[in-house]
Structure 1
């Protein structure tokens, strides 16, 4: 992608399709989710609640080995609160619009892998996969919608290189 001198590679997502677009709703909904979930990671209740997901994850299990159950939860909490901060700053700073959306998308890509690594997702009494349990199966499946919201915000935050593709 070639960037011209008067063109920036990033923009505030909402400005790509209108100042009061539905992307603003996605941004602020994601902010609420990351603030709430991030803050909860500093409680023993949440640390123990996410432990089965972390310990069974080939991507994240090292966190428990390195930091313990509560320490891993702290690390994830800091990352989630950092994602919320980037999304908030992204409402006024274009590069943070893309950064926050990318961090959010990465979060949900990782949590969707729990769908395959966490025991109990498939519901045996209903015939197994594709039947999924309420917890953890349906709990994890909602991250598909959060991933779509994150990707929508990210795509709107990355400016195209074609001048005719830009909206006024």
Structure 2
């Protein structure tokens, strides 16, 4: 393919790429939202929710009590599960998962419905803002001080842990939500601008 035809293809395919963003958001939301029905995923979000000023009220036990009841991925410890049941961990995760899947569906529906797509895009943006706030509220997003090298310490800000790297990626979802919302808004105002 010649350079000019590649540029022409890319220039003409923007709407298709925006639809691809919608599909991508749907895949991420449906997959991650669906996993919220499983105990290991519900356990995994506890540090984020427990430390969040926007979400901690959903749990019965205050942070950092959860640190004594962490289930390693793939392992089940009954006393930890009992604590999570009493905390409301699983019930909250089911609700959150449902909301996340619905946001994904609304965003995906934006391929056909500008109104639903606008709502989905704005909700994706809002959800990403909340998720990114975990970089401020959740201690586990940074590498802990485990007695590393005194001269060049590699802990705390800006050294992201695995959880922190996962959260930081939501800045892409933030931008994607705005992109699809903007596209939907353009489609909604277009009939009015032609009259």
Quickly name the TM-score band, shorter chain normalised. Answer: 0.7 to 0.9
Deviations 1:78-113 (A, max 9, x none): 101111221222211110010111111111110000
Instruction: Give the CA deviation at 1:131.
Output: 2.4
Structure 1 match to 2:5: none
Q: Does 1:72 align with 2:72?
A: no
Normalised by the size of structure 2, how large is the TM-score? Answer: 0.68
RMSD of aligned residue pairs (Cα, Å):
2.6
Tell me if the contact between 1:64 and 1:71 (Cα under 8 Å) persists in the aligned partners.
no
Q: Distance in 1 between matches of 2:156 and 2:41?
A: 28
Aligned residues: 148
Q: Name the CA distance, whole Å, in 1 between partners of 2:39 and 2:103.
A: 21
Give the TM-score normalised by structure 1: 0.78
Matching residue within 171, 185, 192 for 1:144? 171
C-alpha distance in 1, partners of 2:114/2:21? 16
* Change in 2 beyond 3 A, CA 1:59/1:25: same
8 A Cα contact 2:110 2:184, kept in partner: no
The 3-state SS of whatever aligns with 2:158 is coil
Q: 1:131 aligns with which of 139, 155, 159?
A: 159
Q: Please tell me whether Structure 1 or Structure 2 has the larger radius of gyration of its CA atoms.
A: 2
Give 2:183's aligned residue. Answer: 156
For the residue of structure 1 that corresponds to 2:59, the secondary structure is: helix
Aligned to 1:46: 41
